[in-house]
Structure 1
């Protein structure tokens, strides 16, 4: 239902599944396994897979912490978007890469739930995309020492509220890995 004209395709986004981002995150291995399942499904269906990789003062470009986890493998023809802000669209080439591929709907996976995942979902919706969150394919670190809820609560709340997001001509939604469809008409 995207508001972007002539953009009927769907893409899978793999956001910031980097060693220093997911180390110690709850359900780390399960989340990575689910992302691998989605990558395999997307590749089998010729759905674009785009990778996003964050860097900042705490996640230094080229450092071991900055590298993607070893369990995930990006193919050479799958774009890698470098970013410095929470929203994967902000000051990156993501929008042009999606436009080149006729993408009006994104399926979002990765980390961190309460930072880059939420920012990218909202960024997509305001830019005219439909944005589906895969509820069992994202995670976050424990920030309770700063007053945040537990990671499990952050993940559950994000899954809940994103399931009800929409805007004129655009929709959000939360589904499990097993429910993901890359066909826009199925929008799951």
Structure 2
């Protein structure tokens, strides 16, 4: 086993926020499930990562019950790892690197929420650690991002009406440009599936 699929923060916490109405792909679980099935078929390790902020009182506080995979996900508890992180990337506050190196994993396929935040940050760290990274761009999702000078506490309607807001599709496009050829190979779910079907 030299490859692993890392599913990052595809969790109910995001669906519990008003911003979920503006998520770039509300059916992200369908694409993640396809990747999970491909990884299992290939005998690759599957790692589920959840973001957790204990004591925060927000949607990422485990006490509120949202820090769990989206219910549509086809997660298995037997043989698949589940880790909790409190940093943006999946390495800094976890033992993920030790878990991967102990299993001889050198190639990572990444998917999850949010494209430009936890998934991209994990890709950058993984690349610096020497992993070969495939970033499955259409199996990530994100929200529009407010301008740095936008007032805090904007409603969703105000965020979407602000002409300075960066739309989700533009966030994803910029992330793809920033990672490609530097930190990761960019692929779609269809491309990952097609590559998996090629003869060895």
| 8 Å Cα contact 2:38-2:193 kept in structure 1 | no
Q: Which has the larger radius of gyration?
A: 2
Superposition RMSD on alpha carbons, in Å? 2.2
Secondary structure of 1:51's counterpart equals: strand
The offset of 1:62, in angstroms, is 4.1
Higher relative contact order (CA 8 A, sep 6+): 1
Match of 2:50 among 31, 42, 53: 53
Give deviations 1:111-166, integer Å, cap 9, x for gaps.
11121011100110111111110011001123236565111111111123222215
| 8 Å Cα contact 1:10-1:182 kept in structure 2 | no
Name the counterpart of 1:3: none
Equivalents in 2 of 1:49, 1:119: separation in Å?
A: 19
Name the counterpart of 1:176: 188
Match of 2:174 among 146, 157, 164: 157
Q: How many pairs does the alignment contain?
A: 172
Equivalents in 2 of 1:70, 1:155: separation in Å?
A: 24
Name the counterpart of 2:83: 81
Give deviations 1:45-71, integer Å, cap 9, x for gaps.
111100101012231014233221001
Name the counterpart of 1:16: 9
| 8 Å Cα contact 1:137-1:177 kept in structure 2 | yes
Equivalents in 2 of 1:117, 1:27: separation in Å?
A: 15
Q: Summarize the Cα distance change of 1:144–1:178 in structure 2 as closer, same or farther, 3 Å threshold.
A: same
Name the counterpart of 1:120: 122
Equivalents in 2 of 1:148, 1:81: separation in Å?
A: 33
| 8 Å Cα contact 1:89-1:123 kept in structure 2 | yes
Greater than 3 Å deviation, 4+ residue runs = 145-148, 181-184
Name the counterpart of 2:140: 138
| 8 Å Cα contact 1:11-1:182 kept in structure 2 | no
Gap regions ≥5 residues in structure 2: 151-163
Gap regions ≥5 residues in structure 1: 1-7, 167-171
TM-score, normalised to structure 2, is 0.78
